[in-house]
Chain A
Amino acid sequence: MQELIASILAGENFLSDVPPVLITVVFMSAAGLLFASLAAINALIAVYLERKVSAHMQDRLGPMEVGPHGTLQTLADAVKLLLKEDIVPQNADRFLHTLAPFLVFAAAIGALVALPYSSAFLFANFDIGVLFVISITSLTVIAIIIAGWASNNKWSLLGGMRSAAQIVSYEIPTALALLVIIMQVGSLNFQQIATAQTGWFWHWHVFQFFPFNLIAFLIFFVASLAEVNRTPFDLPEAESELVAGFMTEYSGFKWAVFMLSEYANMIVVTGVGAAVFLGAHQSPFGNFMNGGVWGVFWFVGKAYGLVLVQIWLRWTLPRLRVDQLMYTSWKVLTPFAFACIFAVGLWMIL
């Protein structure tokens, strides 16, 4: 993206008279809009995938009416949600009630920008890539607390606080598991992490330093499930527990934005997992099917593969209770992550 803007500003074309600030602002806004629409398309696909996969796992068919095999079902749902009335509870804080879903959305889009989709065209090749994604996803916590508070509803507040405590607790094993790989690569840059995994699939980080990287990958995957409030960690959203947790008082378009950001967050965490552990945009067959455009295919394919595993886990496992959830994070995942860091550090020195 930076190179595109620089080349436009440098060359003599019809945009020479426009002030550079305007060009930068317009291009950046266009990139942001592009990512927002990509997130919406991703939500369309992911919701359809979830409904179909869960249906077939439960020996039924799922949506079949709208469009061939129900493919247009999510589109119809989106149109319905857009046309619904926007209800804000009576004594609730109107401004905060509207702000919260858009903060979550902003956090998800901000993290999507930094992922390594391909080796050729990138939107933002930050040198602090991994740290940037971790810090932007911590905005979700605040937005959930604000959503729970602004609904003026005891159950929403409780759900919001529980969800915030869960996400904050599971950020630690996530970051520690990523640290195992960052130690091996020596850089936070996503492109360098991807380049360190060139070759056939046994060069991917998840198969190196056996078994510690594999344990780190499992810790990352489980902790990232809790980060996006997926089962078995979806107590804040469970219908039988707190109605719908912090989303209780949200309907219509704002609820659609919450759902969109939840699926976008799923892609963010699976994207980070695929980038750091499964060889980002590298092909598993070495140089065969490797390149700029193939990179996007492989990266999105790996991310969606992990999303399929997440959907599979959702419809197979029961939910964890809040104290079991906290126990898992602090007494199981974090010590194992520390042990992995220590073991890999020793292995690298000796």
Chain B
Amino acid sequence: MTTFDFTFYAFSILTLLSASVMVFSKNLIHCAVGLLFAFFGIAGIYVLLAADFLAAVQVLIYVGGILVLLLFGVMLSQRIAGVNIETGTLQFIPALLVCGVVFAILTHLALKTRWSLMPLAEMAPTSRTIGNLLMTEYLLPFEIISILLLAALVGAAFMARREAR
């Protein structure tokens, strides 16, 4: 087993275990911590796929931004601080069956398709290339997503403010 394989299996076990904790735990904060480790595992997978810039962006935005938002959301949507936060499930067995079927179909697809694989390129740093692409080929999506972010920022701040009724 090469180092690459070992690292892949280590990170995927970390990700899958944390995601399972996230799905099967009753305590909301445990779900959030599971999500935290899942995000880190996914960042490790990105590094294995030669996407170093994306791994750093993943940690920065998901862990440093979205997870903080989720934790604040968890804490601000409970009645009294200190009460044990529990979350229940509905119709767990049918949901498990549906997800099992979806997983089986996707795995079958992944294993049976004859992918047209290109020869693997050297693992090169991607920051410079991504920066160039953002300013040349992908300029329009870049501008549109800036406007989207502005709209989301203003909208979220407006919606979540405490109105004087």
Interface residues of A (CB under 8 A from B): 19-21, 24-25, 91, 93, 95-96, 99, 126-128, 131-132, 134-136, 138-139, 141-142, 145-146, 149-150, 152, 154, 157, 161, 164, 168, 171, 187-188
Provide 12 A-B residue pairs closer than 8 Å at the C-beta atoms, listed in order of the A residue. Answer: A21-B1, A21-B3, A96-B33, A99-B33, A128-B53, A131-B53, A131-B127, A138-B65, A141-B64, A146-B29, A154-B82, A188-B127
On chain A, the residues within 8 Å of B3 by CB distance are 20-21, 24
Bitwise, B21-59 to A at CB < 8 A (1) or not (0) is 000000101100100100000000000000011001101
On chain B, the residues within 8 Å of A188 by CB distance are 127
- Interfacial residues of chain B within 51-78, with CB under 8 A of chain A in the complex: 52-53, 56-57, 59-60, 63-65, 67-68, 71-72, 75
Contact A142–B127 (Cβ < 8 Å): no
B98 is an interface residue with CB less than 8 A from chain A: no
8 Å CB contact of B75 from A20, A138, A149: A149
Contact B52–A138 (Cβ < 8 Å): no
- Interfacial residues of chain B within 106-157, with CB under 8 A of chain A in the complex: 125, 127-128
B105 is an interface residue with CB less than 8 A from chain A: no
Contact A138–B63 (Cβ < 8 Å): yes
Nearest CB in chain B to that of A133: its residue: B56
Contact B68–A139 (Cβ < 8 Å): no
Contact B82–A152 (Cβ < 8 Å): yes
On chain B, the residues within 8 Å of A154 by CB distance are 81-82
Contact B63–A142 (Cβ < 8 Å): yes
On chain B, the residues within 8 Å of A25 by CB distance are 6
The smallest C-beta distance from A32 to any residue of chain B, in angstroms, reads 15
- Interfacial residues of chain B within 82-105, with CB under 8 A of chain A in the complex: 82
The CB with the most chain B CB atoms within 10 A, among A99, A139, A152, A157, is that of A139
Nearest CB in chain B to that of A130: its residue: B56
On chain A, the residues within 8 Å of B29 by CB distance are 93, 96, 146, 149-150
Nearest CB in chain B to that of A164: its residue: B68
The smallest C-beta distance from B163 to any residue of chain A, in angstroms, reads 21
User: What are the 4 tightest A-B residue pairs by CB atom distance, in nearest-first order?
Assistant: A138-B64, A127-B125, A135-B60, A135-B59
Known: A138-B65, A149-B75. 6 other contacts (CB 8 A): A21-B1, A131-B60, A139-B64, A142-B67, A149-B29, A161-B72
On chain A, the residues within 8 Å of B128 by CB distance are 187
Contact B75–A157 (Cβ < 8 Å): yes
8 Å CB contact of B64 from A99, A146, A171: A171
On chain B, the residues within 8 Å of A161 by CB distance are 72, 75
In the complex where A21-B1, A96-B33, A157-B81 touch, is A131 in contact with B56 (Cβ < 8 A)?
yes
Q: Report Cα–Cα, A139/B59, bound state, in Å.
A: 8
On chain B, the residues within 8 Å of A152 by CB distance are 82
On chain B, the residues within 8 Å of A139 by CB distance are 59, 63-64
On chain A, the residues within 8 Å of B67 by CB distance are 142
Contact B75–A142 (Cβ < 8 Å): no
On chain B, the residues within 8 Å of A134 by CB distance are 56, 60
Contact B1–A135 (Cβ < 8 Å): no
On chain A, the residues within 8 Å of B1 by CB distance are 19, 21
The smallest C-beta distance from A133 to any residue of chain B, in angstroms, reads 9
Q: Report Cα–Cα, A99/B30, bound state, in Å.
A: 11
Q: Report Cα–Cα, A142/B67, bound state, in Å.
A: 8
